[in-house]
Amino acid sequence: MGYFFAVIRIGLYALVFGVFVVIGAFGHVLFFMSPPRLLKWIAFFAQVWARVTCLILNIQVQIEGNASIKPGSLIVANHVGSPDIFILGATFKGFFVSKAEISDWPLFSWLARLGKTVFANRSKRHQVKALIGEIKQRLNSDQCVILFPEAQATDGTDVVPFKSAIFESAVLASRPVVPVEICYHDDHQPTIAYYGDSFISHIVTLLKAPRLLATVTVLPEISVGDDRQTLSSKSYKAIHDKHMSNNG
């Protein structure tokens, strides 16, 4: 039965992938001379794409807290695996910050680039400064930016301390930070949402799963005014405490 789910979902997603590549390309042509309108177009259809993906994979999400956040907020969350992207994308209109390696992946890179993903290469200091500047620009355009400040996937049992550099974008843009905690509910230890050692194996497991349940908790926003280290510490504590209470 698991392989049946996988085959059907691959077929459906191939169709969805093609449709949204066309939509993204059309938006880039239509709003070539109007970047603000292009960002709104992409943010709208990116959320539709994420919701369709959750439907195809039968990812059922319960939201706790107020998901109607201020435009231009920096959304930070714990990171477990690829479902995080679909779930957060379905919950919020916003643009993701992703590791630079994805820009070289076949097919996925097209969708990521059309979706105006912000690519991060934290290994090079001068690129971190450029990354902060790009995120600041998106926030100042009243577009939310979604990122995983752990800078790695975990097995979902704990939350790794956050990297603080990226929070400088919220400080410079004078925009609030919204901590978000993701918790998966399945019988697997670790959860099937976890990347594991092999991304391909992770995707196959996800495609075969009949259903995946998750809870997204939108925690109180942290107002601008603090330095990046304080923003990082406050965000980490809020998400870590909520996550450990869920797993306790």
Could you tell me the sign of the dihedral formed by the alpha carbons of 245, 217, 83, 131, in that order? negative
Question: pTM (2 decimals)?
Answer: 0.92
Across the beta sheet with 118-120, the strand order is: 59-64, 212-218, 177-185, 74-77, 145-147, 95-99, 118-120
Whether 70 and 176 have beta carbons less than 8 Å apart is answered as: yes
Q: How do the pLDDT tens digits run along the chain, 248 residues long?
A: 677 878 899 899 889 888 988 898 898 898 888 888 999 999 999 999 999 999 999 999 999 999 999 999 999 999 998 899 999 999 999 999 887 666 566 566 767 777 888 887 766 666 888 889 999 999 999 999 999 999 888 888 899 999 999 999 999 999 999 999 999 998 778 888 988 777 788 888 889 999 999 999 999 999 887 799 999 999 999 999 999 888 76
Give pLDDT, residue 61. Answer: 96
How far is Cα 164 from Cα 129, in angstroms, rounded to an integer? 13
Domains of the chain as residue ranges with CATH:
2-247 (3.40.1130)
Give pLDDT, residue 241. Answer: 95
